[in-house]
Amino acid sequence: MTIYQNLIAGEWVGSDATKNINPSDTNEVVGLYADGTVEDTKNAIAAAKAAFPAWSRSGIWERHVILKKAGDEIMARKDEVGALLAREEGKTLPEAIGETIRASQIFEFFAGEALRLAGEIIPSVRPNIGVEITRDPLGVIGIITPWNFPIAIPAWKIAPALCYGNTIVFKPAELVPGCSWAIVDILHRAGLPKGVLNLVMGKGSVVGQAMLDSADVAGITFTGSTGTGRRVAAASIEHNRKFQLEMGGKNPMVVLDDADLNVAVEAAANSGFFSTGQRCTASSRLIVTEGIHDTFVASLTEKLKTLVVDNALKSGTHIGPVVDERQLKTDTDYIEIGKQEGAKLAFGGELITRETPGFYLQPTLFTEATNQMRISREEIFGPVVSVIRVKDYEEALATANDTPFGLSAGIATTSLKHATHFKRNSEAGMVMVNLPTAGVDFHVPFGGRKGSSYGPREQGKYAAEFYTTVKTAYTLA
Ligand code: ADP
């Protein structure tokens, strides 16, 4: 089997490899992917550092052309790359193709942004002096990504980093190196100079840690678990380095008595269970007022009965497998915890056997949960959702905000008054009215508050806040 190698200083290197396993069919090896070392990481950082002066001064047209070419190739190959994504991560083929299209759109967006770089010219408060405010790139950016969006998250970090003139050392999650390799290969062939984008696949504790330990990495953008995020923060403060963290969520969706039942059920089923509940913006707490509670639970349960859990590549599958054995154990452990805490298992909770051996779990719904239970406070990251019954809107809002996290929050209501109040008073970075808490646009800011995020927002023009540093220049006329 071919080994997909790391890209360091423009060369494909590495002979030690790890198997990429398909969670829908554990007999299938998706590919062999290089297992990077500390030495590889140091070489990649040195290459990115050496490539920085020229790339940071490269013309905006060159950046535009490369980003555009990459976006176009990803779009042209969406079915093939989408299938690879579905095979390595386990989300359904339509979801995987959708995510691949999203990656293409992100490259297209930043191809456009490259042509719109601008600064400000401002009069000084002193006579005969001009002031210019410009944005400089940071330098070497370390990109560390999780497994749940194998192509969209790498795209939304790589594209702005390159657009604003930074060089990169990129470490994808161990479980899903395939899509990362594909986009690095595409960008490399699109004409990026040697060393501008380096790919080091491998273990977080080895490659990721070596990035955290390097004084030559000027910025780290991280999406992953809270625990690792804290390590990134501590190491970055040590090196006086800029960092940006996207971590967990425990996203609430409020359903009020006046909600359109259909809209509420569709939004809850989508954001709770699609992509196997493995989205940081998934709704894992459904906070439902008394008057609609029983009807809502009954309708949602009926909906869950219609959802097919099966091989991600099979047509008709709504929910693919859990990503791996470790995550499956986390999910089933939390299902046990939920039962012990006294929540009522209203649907699912069982492992499923399918034609191909994989990590299949029924969508799982707990009712009669309280907001103090561990299943309502801790991020599970699986298709496990709890319903919390509340008296009225005020209690719903207080419950929604009573969480260590603050990524996304939703409300299903036909009341303009409550929708408006919720948008103003939700302590989340993103608020959805009559929409799933997951599912966002690519040209507007993405990010959260409290324990979910740290640092500037990602995506859209707000990405410049992280990937550049502002310079103020004064000139005597
Ligand atoms: P998860 O538990 O969802 O896999 P992690 O936070 O462990 O979340 O993983 C997110 C990313 O962080 C992955 O690319 C992983 O390899 C990386 N990572 C894990 N440990 C470290 C570490 N000590 N230093 C840097 N990166 C790490």
Q: Could you tell me if 186 and 312 lie in one domain?
A: no
- 246 catalytic? Reply is yes
353-377 mean pLDDT? 98
- Is 443 within a domain? no
Q: Out of 88, 108, 174, 246, pick the active-site residue.
A: 246
Cα separation of 130 and 143, whole Å? Answer: 37
The answer to whether residue 1 scores a pLDDT higher than 90 is no
Q: What's the pLDDT score for residue 45?
A: 99
Cα separation of 17 and 15, whole Å? Answer: 6
- Is 63 within a domain? yes
329-338 mean pLDDT? 98
Q: Is the CB of 182 under 6 A from ligand 1?
A: no
209-232 mean pLDDT? 98
For residue 394, the CA-to-ligand 1 centroid distance in Å is 38
Q: Could you tell me if 111 and 155 lie in one domain?
A: yes
> What's the pLDDT band for 173 if we cut at 50, 70, 90?
very high
Q: Could you tell me if 232 and 255 lie in one domain?
A: no
Q: What's the pLDDT score for residue 423?
A: 98
Average pLDDT, the chain: 98
Q: Could you tell me if 411 and 283 lie in one domain?
A: yes
- Is 60 within a domain? yes
Q: Which residues pair with 144 in a beta bridge?
A: 171, 222
The answer to whether residue 40 scores a pLDDT higher than 90 is yes
Cα separation of 135 and 349, whole Å? Answer: 51
**Which among 228, 239, 279, 380 is the best mutation to test ligand 1's pocket, defined by most ligand atoms within 8 Å of the CB?**
228
- Is 444 within a domain? no
- Is 439 within a domain? no
Query: What's the DSSP call for residue 462?
Result: G
Domain CATH number, residue 412 = 3.40.309.10
Q: Could you tell me if 165 and 210 lie in one domain?
A: yes
Cα separation of 298 and 260, whole Å? Answer: 15
> What's the pLDDT band for 477 if we cut at 50, 70, 90?
confident
Number of domains observed in the structure of the chain: 2
Nearest to 151 by CA among 70, 41, 216: 70
- Is 403 within a domain? yes
115-152: per-residue pLDDT in tens? Answer: 999 999 999 999 999 999 999 999 999 999 999 999 99
Q: Could you tell me if 243 and 281 lie in one domain?
A: no
Residue 259: exposed, middle, or buried by beta-carbon count in 10 A (0-12, 13-18, 19+)? buried
SS3 477: coil
Residues in the chain: 477
Using the Cα atoms of residue 130, residue 131, residue 132 and residue 138 in order, give the sign of their dihedral: positive
Q: Could you tell me if 326 and 396 lie in one domain?
A: yes
Phi then psi dihedrals of residue 289, to 5 deg: -75, 155
11-38: per-residue pLDDT in tens? Answer: 999 989 999 999 999 999 999 999 999 9
The Cα-based distances of 367 to 300, 355, 387, 389 in angstroms read: 11, 31, 5, 8
Q: Is the CB of 148 under 6 A from ligand 1?
A: no
Q: What's the pLDDT score for residue 15?
A: 86
Q: Work out the number of other CB atoms within 10 angstroms of the CB of residue 440.
A: 17
Cα separation of 421 and 67, whole Å? Answer: 40
Q: Could you tell me if 196 and 59 lie in one domain?
A: yes
- Is 441 within a domain? no
Q: Could you tell me if 393 and 266 lie in one domain?
A: yes
Nearest to 291 by CA among 416, 371, 392, 413: 392
- Is 440 within a domain? no
Q: Is the CB of 212 under 6 A from ligand 1?
A: yes
Domain CATH number, residue 472 = 3.40.605.10
SS3 18: strand
Cα separation of 477 and 140, whole Å? Answer: 35
336-346 mean pLDDT? 98
- What is the reported pTM? 0.98
Q: Which residues pair with 17 in a beta bridge?
A: 34
The answer to whether residue 303 scores a pLDDT higher than 90 is yes
Q: Could you tell me if 78 and 202 lie in one domain?
A: yes
The answer to whether residue 351 scores a pLDDT higher than 90 is yes
Q: Could you tell me if 239 and 264 lie in one domain?
A: no
Q: Could you tell me if 257 and 300 lie in one domain?
A: yes
- The protein residue whose alpha carbon is closest to atom 23 in ligand 1 is 205
Residue 354: exposed, middle, or buried by beta-carbon count in 10 A (0-12, 13-18, 19+)? middle
The answer to whether residue 52 scores a pLDDT higher than 90 is yes
Q: What's the pLDDT score for residue 296?
A: 98
Q: Which domain holds residue 275?
A: 251-433
Cα separation of 269 and 282, whole Å? Answer: 10
